[in-house]
């Protein structure tokens, strides 16, 4: 089923009438089933922009709160649609009647404890696509009060929700490029996260057994640690720095290790520029610090090469 088929149905019928809900849900679920895997989806063969207006109106309709299955399917459909650059670039566009798509999604992330966690997780998943663009991040930040609830979701029981929200907060901080190409485009968001006590929950997630959660946590710390006050908060937690070094040695994902390196450089790097040091001494300290990090990475790669799957030790039976 194409998106045009779903959109035609949305255009012709009042979606929340009892006689239409089952048919709409069926169409949305069919569209999601066929297109959720980007590698197999026929939807991405066409890179033309799609109309999001009616789907946005559905998500903003107060009545959808009474139909969680429909809300979840609609968010999954929007996630698929938002993967197209031409679509997520238009998600910040204001509609005269209903507001923009980002605002429609944010409403599902503003009531911790009242919104089903699977729905909140999907809403955060949707936001990660448009938040690759700085202009879309600005829309998130301009929605007053949206950051504190997302910080609260970091303590949710649903691990997918934790990972997705951490990813959104990471994108909010960096503006467009994510943790791997960190830019300091939005310093105000770091202050919001710190003042709402969002840093301690992020630090706890460094020890998550799920790589996606740990990587998002490391990336978020890399971002917030550019601010002096946030660095001091992180340094007061003795385990945070240890956990980041553990990621260098034990990390199975290169992205996780890169985020951990960036966080450590931000957290500990400024301390190397102590007052009274000559430029030569400071340079030597930075060089030594870089060698420590490099040694940890090499140790991790050697360990994984020997004891990991396919390594020499793993082949001994």
- Domains within the chain, CATH numbers bracketed: 1-144 (no CATH), 177-311 (1.25.10.10)
- How far is residue 254 CA from its own chain's centroid? 17
- Kindly report the pTM of this predicted structure: 0.56
User: Residue holding tokens 């009060």?
Assistant: 145
How far, in Å, CA of 192 to CA of 223, rounded? 13
Q: pLDDT tens digits for 244-265?
A: 888 887 766 777 888 888 888 8
CA-based nearest residue to 127, from 85, 183, 182, 165: 165
pLDDT at 290: 67
- How far is residue 60 CA from its own chain's centroid? 22
The pair of structure tokens assigned to 51 is 């109309």
How far, in Å, CA of 171 to CA of 231, rounded? 19
pLDDT at 182: 32
pLDDT at 177: 32
User: Residue holding tokens 């789907």?
Assistant: 55
Query: Which stretches in the chain have pLDDT values below 50?
Result: 95-98, 174-185, 309-310, 313-317
CA–CA distance from 85 to each of 43, 50, 131 (Å)? 13, 11, 11
Inter-axis angle of helices 254-268 and 211-224, to 10 degrees? 30
Element (H, E) at 154: none
Backbone dihedral region for residue 67 (phi beyond 0: left; psi -120 to 50: alpha; all else: beta): beta
């Amino acid at each position: 089923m194409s998106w045009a088929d779903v959109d035609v149905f949305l255009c012709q019928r009042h979606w929340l009438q009892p006689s239409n809900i089952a048919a709409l849900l069926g169409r949305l679920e069919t569209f999601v089933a066929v297109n959720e895997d980007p590698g197999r989806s026929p939807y991405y063969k066409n890179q033309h922009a799609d109309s999001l207006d009616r789907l946005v109106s559905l998500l903003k309709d107060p009545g959808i709160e009474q139909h969680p299955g429909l809300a979840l399917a609609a968010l999954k459909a929007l996630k698929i649609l938002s993967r197209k650059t031409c679509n997520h670039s238009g998600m910040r566009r204001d509609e005269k009647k209903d507001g923009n798509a980002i605002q429609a999604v944010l409403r599902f992330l503003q009531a911790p404890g009242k919104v089903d966690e699977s729905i909140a997780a999907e809403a955060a998943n949707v936001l990660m696509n448009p938040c690759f663009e700085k202009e879309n991040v600005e829309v998130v930040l301009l929605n007053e009060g949206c950051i504190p609830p997302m910080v609260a979701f970091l303590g949710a029981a649903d691990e997918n929700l934790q990972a997705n929200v951490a990813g959104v907060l990471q994108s909010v901080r960096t503006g467009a490029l994510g943790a791997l190409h960190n830019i300091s485009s939005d310093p105000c968001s770091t202050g919001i996260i710190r003042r709402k006590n969002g840093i301690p929950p992020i630090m706890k997630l460094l020890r998550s057994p799920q790589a996606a959660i740990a990587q998002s946590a490391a990336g978020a710390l890399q971002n917030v640690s550019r601010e002096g006050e946030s660095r001091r908060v992180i340094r007061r937690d003795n385990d945070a720095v240890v956990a980041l070094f553990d990621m260098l040695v034990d990390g199975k994902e290169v992205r996780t290790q890169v985020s951990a390196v960036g966080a450590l450089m931000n957290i500990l790097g400024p301390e190397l520029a102590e007052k009274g040091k000559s430029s030569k001494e400071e340079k030597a300290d930075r060089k030594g610090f870089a060698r420590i990090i490099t040694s940890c990475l090499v140790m991790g790669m050697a360990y994984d090469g020997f004891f990991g799957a396919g390594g020499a030790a793993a082949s001994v039976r």
